[in-house]
Amino acid sequence: MNELRFPEHFLWGAATAAYQIEGAASDDGRGPSIWDTFSRTPGKVYQGHTGDVACDHYHRYGDDVALMAELGLRAYRFSVAWPRIQPDGTGPVNPRGLDFYDRLTDTLLDRGIDPIVTLYHWDLPQALGDRGGWTNRDTAEHFATYATAVYARLGDRVDVWTTLNEPWCSAYLGYGNGVHAPGEQDPAAAFTAVHHLLLAHGLAARALRSAGAGSVGITLNPADVQPADPQSAADAAAVRLVDGLHNRIFLDPLLAGGYPDDVREHVARMVEPTFIRDGDEKLIAAPIDLLGINYYQPSYVAGRPDGAGGGGAYPGTEGAVQFLPPTGPLTDMEWMIEPAGLTRLLERIATDYPGVPLLITENGAAFPDKPGAESADGPGQVIDTDRIAYLDGHLRAAHEAISRGVDLRGYLVWSFLDNFEWAEGYRKRFGIVHVDYLTQRRTPKASARWYQEVISRNGL
């Protein structure tokens, strides 16, 4: 295949999330999160796995950052655990919690790695969960206060701030179909959570800007929604509905000034949207400096009068939409591998919502990694050719989007480490670095060495 070079100053890095890697669940004053509670609820997480220890990154961050530097990473996106900063979600700030992120930030900078902070990656303090979580408007206000506290400690060294990670998951998987914490199944709660999450972003973005933040954004997981039959009017209507619930319900208020009319009408069939108050949409639509894009697979849908719909993950699609099963080669998550979907998605966002720089904040794949023979990296290196092929294909898709005029600033692979994969526990491995959970030994996989070369060449 032809050699490809990415733009000068293209940002290469990796991403993780606090609950998935930190462990130290009760160290230094950390309070419980909704994921601590959820993972202890029988039947919610594979084999009762929890994030109590995870990758023990809380104690091993120095070695982890040294490995990032060895691999040539230029940026590292990590999330801050709200329960470490405010164990109850409100009230006094826990300085020991901030101390950890202080040390992590300094260690990254000492190694020439830019820290990118995500303020919320799903680990809501349980005390706020007990008061309704994201269905309670007060949670949005508390989030802005928390964001201000983190910025006060790290803002002199961290340039790039993202407020939320994938509010679609927080709202629909947490309150719609219940497969994520807090495990509720209520369409009204899901839509209420959508709005309060967006409001939290708006309030936090305003607070960060007032405090002096230079670059503020949010990370979404927009879907590339395609019709089963491009000639079918029913399938086109299904695409419109699913696109509204997955994409435009977030993108329009963030970047186009307000919720789209068709989505408002759909939501009103299930709940009266009194939770949207005058002035909310103006707050949500405050200008952002970057939009994080997490992409893994496309979605193919058909309009069917007897369609099963997407259940709580897409409230109101039952009896109208059929989500087609993935085809072709699949990842270990049974996700479809279609790099062209990333090109389509990036180009669509750049066209429909122009003027906002994009950053791929997550892209990667889980495969059933099997340690192989000894290598320069020691015994048990994983020869993960499937992952290399996945990443190569998606980087080529990203480059194609750039060639079509998309303002894409960088790429962060998911994930730096194998980790706690939410409801799947530890059985699914996304990392480019293998983690032996019994010994906590880190071993770069073949994909890590491949990515190291990509970074050094700034291309493929």
Predicted pLDDT at 307: 87
Are 349 and 251 in contact, with CB atoms under 8 Å apart? yes
pLDDT in tens, 34-44: 999 999 999 99
**pLDDT at position 369:** 85
Instruction: Examine the pLDDT at 374 and tell me if it is beyond 50.
Output: no
Residue 160 has pLDDT above 90, yes or no: yes
Degrees, nearest 5: CA angle 218-90-130: 90
Going by their DSSP bridges, the two strands 215-220 and 114-120 should be labelled as unpaired
- Min mean pLDDT across 153-157, 307-311, 356-360, 365-369 is at 307-311
pLDDT of residue 361: 98
**According to CATH, what is the number of the domain 11-457?**
3.20.20.80
Q: What is the pLDDT of residues 191-226, one digit of tens each?
A: 999 999 999 999 999 999 999 999 999 999 999 999
Give 300-312 pLDDT, tens digit per residue: 999 998 889 988 9
Residues 343-354 have a mean pLDDT of 98
**Residue 410, strand partner residues:** 11
The pLDDT assigned to 258 comes to 98
Residue 195: what pLDDT? 98
Q: Which amino acid is at 118?
A: T
pTM: 0.97
SS (H, E, C) the chain: CCCCECCCCCEEEEECCHHHHCCCCCHHHCCCEHHHHHHCCCCCCHHHCCCCCCCCHHHHHHHHHHHHHHCCCCEEEEECCHHHHCCCCCCCCCHHHHHHHHHHHHHHHHCCCEEEEEEECCCCEHHHHCCCHHHCCHHHHHHHHHHHHHHHHHCCCCCEEEEEECHHHHHHHHHCCCCCCCCCCCHHHHHHHHHHHHHHHHHHHHHHHHHCCCEEEEEECCCCEEECCCCCHHHHHHHHHHHHHHHHHHHHHHHCCCCCHHHHHHHHCCCCCCCCCCCHHHHHCCCCCEEEEECCCCEEEEECCCCCCCHHHCCCCCCCEEECCCCCCECCCCCECCCHHHHHHHHHHHHHCCCCCEEEEECCCCCCCCECCCECCECCCECCHHHHHHHHHHHHHHHHHHHCCCCEEEEEEECCECCCCHHHCCCCCCCCEEEECCCCEEEECHHHHHHHHHHHHCEC
pLDDT score, position 379: 57
Q: What are phi and psi of 337, to 5 degrees?
A: -100, 105
pLDDT above 60: residue 277: yes
Please tell me the distance from the alpha carbon of residue 259 to that of residue 247, in angstroms, as a whole number.
Answer: 11
The strand pair at 433-436 and 75-79 is best described as: unpaired
Q: How far apart are CA 187 and CA 194, in angstroms?
A: 11
358 or 370: which leads in pLDDT: 358
Q: What is the pLDDT of residue 372?
A: 64
Between CA 344 and CA 358 the distance in angstroms is: 14
Two tokens at 308? 């099963």
pLDDT beyond 60 at 56: yes
Give the model confidence (pLDDT) of 401-447 as tens digits.
999 999 999 999 999 999 999 999 999 999 999 999 999 999 999 99
What pLDDT score was predicted for residue 371?
A: 66
Does residue 1 or residue 411 have the better pLDDT? 411
Residues 6+ apart with CB under 8 A from 306: 319
How confident is the model over 253-278, as a mean pLDDT? 97
Nearest-CA neighbor of 421 among 49, 77, 58? 49
In the numeric block, the tokens 């606090």 are attached to 18
Radius of gyration of the chain from Cα atoms? Answer: 21
What positions carry a catalytic annotation? 166, 362
Tell me the pLDDT band of 381, cut-offs 50, 70 and 90. Answer: confident
Q: What percent of the chain has pLDDT over 90?
A: 95
Residue 123 is predicted with a pLDDT of: 98
Give the pLDDT confidence score for residue 173 in this predicted structure: 98
For the chain, the average pLDDT equals 96
Q: Could you report the per-residue pLDDT of 434-457, keeping only the tens digit for each?
A: 999 999 999 999 999 999 999 999
Q: What does the domain layout of the chain look like in residue ranges?
A: 11-457
Cβ partners under 8 Å of residue 192, min gap 6: 134, 135, 175, 271, 275
Closest to 239 measured CA to CA, from 251, 223, 259: 223
Is 71 a residue whose pLDDT tops 50? yes
Q: What is the pLDDT of residue 311?
A: 86
- Rounded to whole angstroms, the Cα distance separating 143 from 134 reads 10
Distance of CA 72 to the CA centre of its chain: 23
Find, among 289, 395, 292, the residue nearest to 342 by Cα. 395
Q: Work out the pLDDT band at 270, boundaries 50, 70, 90.
A: very high
Residue 377 pLDDT greater than 90, yes or no: no
114-120 and 225-227 strand pairing? unpaired
